[in-house]
Structure 1
Amino acid sequence: MSRYKCIIFDCDGVLVDSEPLSNQVMVDLANALGANIDLDYAYQHFKGNSFQNCSDQISTLIGKEVPKDFESQYRERSFKKFKEKIRPIAGVKALLDGLDMSFCVASSGPENKIRLNLELTGLLPYFEGNIFSCYTIQKWKPDPAVFLWAAKTMGFDVKECLIIEDSPIGVNAALSGGFDVFGFTEHDYKGELQKNATKTFDRMIKLKELLD
């Protein structure tokens, strides 16, 4: 029997395969402004970050502030990409169907983005009523606030919860909040999660084994 009573999932890259889509949109918009970056750069510098942090980094690269409508452009283009191409992470539905404990999602994205991606991938019914967005509390990872809020709202102590993350920023947020955190490494091409995460796994089907 698992010692955990609640799993708090990140969304992008953990439940839904949105990282390639959203990061490519960010790269395209940044390069149109003269940033000259690629997708690998985006994975390294933007993954798990707040939109504001990513925007600030792009401003530094281009030597001026990004346009005022930069975020609205990003949201419009990325939502269009999600509607065309987003898929659930392989094996995640089977995992959720087999879990015998509480679970929720806590993400840096705005709630309308989280809901859209969960709905498009057929995962929304699993998380309805248990969606926690950093935008709601205006605190972003690596601040652990969104995880602490989720744990408290779900009715569990920190030590009863397990965080599932796919970015170093998310892992560090979980650890700074006192949580155990398992790193999902399916797209961790540079092995960045191994050194800090409590445990790592590269396929969703393996998570159930780690919980038992």
Structure 2
Amino acid sequence: MIDLVIFDCDGVLIDTERHCWTADAALLTAAGIAISEEEVARRFTGISFKDMYRALEAEHGITLPKGFHETVDAAIRAACVAAGPNLAVAGVADAIARIRQAKCVASSSNPAWLERYLGQVGLWSVFAPNVFSAVEVTRGKPAPDLFLHAARKMGVAPERCLVIEDSVPGVTGATAAGMRVLGFTQTAWDPKTHGPRLIEAGAVATFDDMRVLPALVREADLS
């Protein structure tokens, strides 16, 4: 039985990932860390910016300039604002409305980001105050901490939670938390190759269209 559906945010509720890939690849390359959008997408989707920059600095022996994160953040935010309500993943608002279980968000993004962009697409009021950020736990994804934190806050046992994730770190963390996971592939760099990666990480199934999500949740609830 499923009592709680936990949604990741970026790449599941809002289609921000492509803006992140573009800004990071361009600005990292300009700073001396040559990297493509595809590599950023493949390696770091679902990982916090802090952890990504730390890993790349170590690999390349480069210290990124002071204020680098703020520069990238400004570029991403400008692109997201320009998208307006179209920043929402297609069909997600209707899918959420058709799910009868309790719902919350568990995201690697910071609280200000979550409120700003979920608000932009009309979803903040749907989830708040049940929006949980990785800043609230010691370890972010792929550790299970954030998912377990969300379940505790919502008063639901992990085995009665269903997680909707688009990243390997997210699927890994939710699976480690003892939760079932559906992998969403529509916003991936290459949806066809991303699905098998999510299954390998522990997703019980994948899907690429939010219109089918309510049926998938009902199916999980009966299994």
* TM-score between both structures, scaled by the size of structure 2: 0.89
Deviates more, 1:6-15 or 1:24-33: 24-33
Post-superposition shift, 1:74?
A: 2.1
State the AA in 2 paired with 1:68: K
> For each residue in 1:65-98, what CA deviation from the matched residue of structure 2 results, as whole angstroms up to 9, or x when unmatched?
1123122222222222211125100110101111
2:221 aligns to what?
Answer: none
**Contact preservation (8 Å) 1:58, 1:66:** no
The secondary structure found in structure 1 opposite 2:109 is coil
Structure 2 residue 178 is the aligned partner of structure 1 residue 178: yes
State the AA in 2 paired with 1:77: A
1:205 aligns to what?
Answer: 211
State the AA in 2 paired with 1:211: V
- 5 Å-filtered alignment, 1:6-17, equals 6-17=4-15
Question: Following the alignment from structure 2 to structure 1, what is the Cα–Cα distance between the partners of residues 59 and 36?
Answer: 13
The secondary structure found in structure 2 opposite 1:187 is coil
Post-superposition shift, 1:187?
A: 3.3
Deviates more, 1:158-167 or 1:44-53: 44-53
Gaps of 5+ in 1: none
Post-superposition shift, 1:60?
A: 3.6
Which portions of structure 1, spanning 4 or more consecutive aligned residues, are displaced by more than 6 angstroms?
none
Question: Following the alignment from structure 2 to structure 1, what is the Cα–Cα distance between the partners of residues 138 and 26?
Answer: 27
**Contact preservation (8 Å) 1:30, 1:58:** no
Structure 2 residue 54 is the aligned partner of structure 1 residue 56: yes
**Contact preservation (8 Å) 2:11, 2:166:** yes
**Contact preservation (8 Å) 1:164, 1:184:** yes
Post-superposition shift, 1:14?
A: 0.3
The secondary structure found in structure 2 opposite 1:194 is helix
State the AA in 1 paired with 2:69: E
**Contact preservation (8 Å) 1:23, 1:46:** no
State the AA in 1 paired with 2:129: G
Structure 2 residue 117 is the aligned partner of structure 1 residue 111: no
Structure 2 residue 190 is the aligned partner of structure 1 residue 193: no
- 5 Å-filtered alignment, 1:13-28, equals 13-28=11-26
Higher helix share: 2
The secondary structure found in structure 2 opposite 1:21 is helix
Post-superposition shift, 1:61?
A: 4.9
Root mean square deviation of aligned Cα: 1.4
The secondary structure found in structure 2 opposite 1:104 is strand
Question: Following the alignment from structure 1 to structure 2, what is the Cα–Cα distance between the partners of residues 194 and 155?
Answer: 28
Question: Following the alignment from structure 2 to structure 1, what is the Cα–Cα distance between the partners of residues 142 and 124?
Answer: 25
Post-superposition shift, 1:137?
A: 2.2
**Contact preservation (8 Å) 1:151, 1:157:** yes
* TM-score between both structures, scaled by the size of structure 1: 0.94
Percent same amino acid at aligned positions?
Answer: 32
State the AA in 1 paired with 2:199: Q
**Contact preservation (8 Å) 1:105, 1:130:** yes
Post-superposition shift, 1:157?
A: 0.4
> For each residue in 1:20-54, what CA deviation from the matched residue of structure 2 results, as whole angstroms up to 9, or x when unmatched?
01121111110111222111111111100121221
